[in-house]
Chain A
Amino acid sequence: GQNIDQPTEMTATEGAIVQINCTYQTSGFNGLFWYQQHAGEAPTFLSYNVLDGLEEKGRFSSFLSRSKGYSYLLLKELQMKDSASYLCAGLDSNYQLIWGAGTKLIIKP
């Protein structure tokens, strides 16, 4: 079956670094997406990885290991506005997204 696992909730301190992990099992694999979703709002795109390695985009970076079925999202210099849910989604062989339940990130001052 297809499955995306990520922690339900994480807490971090303003200014710190946090890593949100995601493991995936999909029928075929065409890449992995990360989205951010603030409470009561729509998801918005953060990153896409299809090759192994780290993709850096400002304060956010995303890593992929295809052999391990593993990805992480790294957030640096945390700000209060980063409090949100972070959704991991794998793209399967039919180009359909399989979504994790999301990780709720709580930032404390």
Chain B
Amino acid sequence: IAGITQAPTSQILAAGRRMTLRCTQDMRHNAMYWYRQDLGLGLRLIHYSNTAGTTGKGEVPDGYSVSRANTDDFPLTLASAVPSQTSVYFCASSDGLAGGNEQFFGPGTRLTVL
């Protein structure tokens, strides 16, 4: 693994189904983030984790949950998918943002909820 990976690349999901988007990084970054990106809107933060074992809510957390059992993995779960959750989901990691440390993004998961 080099950098940050996400799986699946894309998914079509029936409304009401449960879905987990996977994210793994090998850079030993403390902080990880989940964003959604919708046409005409900026990236919106769903949940974040500043370090393993801790998580926090972002701007649009409803309908989503996360866990951070270790440094490398940060899965995002949709408990019961709804069509408004159709979006492109990006996972990112950083060594914290203080001092201008950049966020590194995964390739994204394109999710369609029907």
Interface set of A (CB-CB < 8 Å, partner B): 4, 30-31, 33, 41-45, 48, 50, 87, 89, 91, 95-102
Chain A positions within 8 Å of B45 at CB level = 96-97
Report the minimal beta-carbon distance from B54 to chain A, rounded to whole angstroms: 14
Q: Tell me the bound Cα distance from A87 to B58 in angstroms.
A: 19
Inter-subunit contact A95/B103 (CB<8 Å): no
Inter-subunit contact A101/B98 (CB<8 Å): no
Closest residue on chain B to residue A88 by CB atoms: B42
Interface set of B (CB-CB < 8 Å, partner A): 40-45, 48, 58, 90, 96-98, 100, 102-108
11 A–B contacts, CB within 8 A, in A order: A31-B100, A42-B106, A42-B107, A42-B108, A43-B90, A48-B100, A87-B43, A95-B98, A97-B43, A101-B42, A102-B42
Inter-subunit contact A50/B42 (CB<8 Å): no
Q: Tell me the bound Cα distance from A4 to B41 in angstroms.
A: 11
With A97-B103, A101-B41, A101-B42 known, 11 other A-B pairs at CB within 8 A are A30-B97, A30-B98, A33-B100, A42-B90, A48-B100, A50-B100, A96-B97, A97-B45, A98-B42, A100-B42, A102-B42
Inter-subunit contact A44/B105 (CB<8 Å): yes
Q: Tell me the bound Cα distance from A100 to B41 in angstroms.
A: 7
Q: Tell me the bound Cα distance from A30 to B98 in angstroms.
A: 8
Q: Tell me the bound Cα distance from A109 to B1 in angstroms.
A: 38
